[in-house]
Structure 1
């Protein structure tokens, strides 16, 4: 018998129960009934709650990887945001620190300028303002450079002051700049007057004295009336410095039995290391009358032949 003629249907003995079409209709009607009953009477609510309670651990386990991934992403994002915030805070702190430093510097400069303006009103000698731009590179001298030169009318030998007292003297003049030798330079000397006693002397620079440099009164007798705290001013006998300008204050007096002279150390009243704004005075010698020419000696009469 050919294979195509075989009957593959189930025998009548195994055909039991309703037909598939009847089962489909029954299940569809049951489903419809349950949906209507659930909508109207909520008959499946307890069953749904029971199933949700039973399935909650499985749902929790299934959601853990998603939550861990979300928390990890949030952690890294928050960490990056925190780092960016910290960097921005440090940058702002640096900016505020710079601004605070600039504000303090401006306040200090304003105070110096006010003192210079007050000093200029009290000075009778012509003066002009200048600014210290840098110190010279020579480690064996104490000199600074000003931003005023020959074109601004600065003359060699002109006295230079800050708001407190005499700072130094112009020793070299360039077209746009000028060099000032400070009073504490080893080669600098200035005639001074003891304001308490009226005694005149000469103060020399002492780079090794004090903190950053000082001055010394040389060739002063050991019995001279000099005390600590005496204020020394310019005497005006040199023809360069106007009289009465503060120069230094005596800080230590040493008298030795084996020496006829006393060692007198002084501290300049001007700010030698941090002066920024100064006044350049006109040398007094420019206002002094010219020295008269010596008159020739008259011939003697009745001299020996």
Structure 2
């Protein structure tokens, strides 16, 4: 190979530039000059502002995951708090609803008890307050069980009233409870009086299941009855005191082929929903014994007796 073609310059590995100390001194002096110039003349502030403007989108993009994480944590914390508050509010709402229902029930019960007390003042008959426990198990009869029995001096045949009117009659007495047959039972009959005309009749429980009504039987087809007439107890049976509300006439059927009218009545008492009742003493148990005749003083002396 010809010698003229050889590169006689040293390889890059052996090339030497400024030394590291000279570079350190240069850049140190340059940094001091720039700091002094920036402090005196503020020449770096526009550069700093331009650099900050350029790198702001990058900073914003880099900070978004941190912001999303922080906001997500706050969202879930607030969601948990909101769910807990909602659960507490629902619980309080349930309590308030229960209390409101109890208040409504107590208000209705108070009205019924006041009506019962008013009825007790009008009825001049010994009475005993009782509460209906449950309906009798026999589906073919209309009977209820009350919480007073023989130990409370309840007698068989005693009339039973609610705050509206006659409810039924005690038909069976046990030591602690009693059985009351409602006036709508098919085996029950009660003498009634039309408060408008003074007509006396006999009301029987309706045999039709599910009606819970009364029926006046053996009345002439041309009887003076109108829908809405109030029927009260007549008191001729010696069981029910006179003047107690029993039912109102609801429907009158006068058939041309029948000599009797068919009269349907609706009980005044709440036969399907009474809770508090009054048990009266039967009129037959209130008949006073006939007092013995007193002997006057002159008659005793005439017979030789002492005054």
C-alpha distance in structure 1 between counterparts of 2:49 and 2:218, whole Å: 113
TM (normalized to structure 1)? 0.82
Shift of 1:229: 1.9
Question: What CA deviation, in whole Å up to 9, does each residue of 1:189-228 have, x standing for no partner?
Answer: 111122222222210111538x751100111122322222
Secondary structure in 2 matching 1:240: coil
Higher deviation after alignment, 24-33 or 232-241: 24-33
**1:198 matched to which residue of 2?**
198
TM-score (norm 2): 0.82
Which residue number in structure 1 is paired with residue 180 of structure 2? 180
Q: Which residue of 1 aligns with 2:226?
A: 227
C-alpha distance in 2 between matches for 1:40 and 1:127: 111
| Secondary structure of 2:144's aligned partner | strand
User: Structure 1: which 4+ aligned runs deviate by more than 6 Å?
Assistant: none
Query: Structure 1 residues 138 and 42, CA, compared in 2 at 3 Å: closer, same or farther?
Result: farther
Alignment check: 8 A CA contact 1:212 1:273 kept: no
* Number of matched pairs: 279
Are 1:52 and 2:47 counterparts?
Answer: no
2:300 corresponds in structure 1 to: none
Secondary structure of the structure 2 residue equivalent to 1:110: helix
Displacement of 1:44: 2.3
SS of residue paired to 2:238: coil
- CA positional deviation for 1:246: 0.9
Deviations 1:224-273 (A, max 9, x none): 22222221111112111111111111111111121121101111111111
User: CA-to-partner distance for each residue in 1:21-76, whole Å, 9 max, x for gaps?
Assistant: 34323433443454455456544222211111111121122122223333333333
Provide the C-alpha distance between the structure 1 equivalents of 2:169 and 2:40, rounded to a whole number of angstroms. Answer: 110
1:190 & 1:227 partners in 2: Cα distance?
20
Aligned to 2:98: 98
Q: For 1:34 and 1:132, locate their aligned partners in 2 and report how far apart those are by CA, in whole Å.
A: 103
User: For residue 257 of structure 2, what is the aligned residue in structure 1?
Assistant: 258
Q: Which runs of 5+ in 1 are unaligned?
A: 1-9, 292-305
CA RMSD of aligned residues (A): 2.5
Q: 2-side partners of 1:143 and 1:120: how far apart?
A: 23
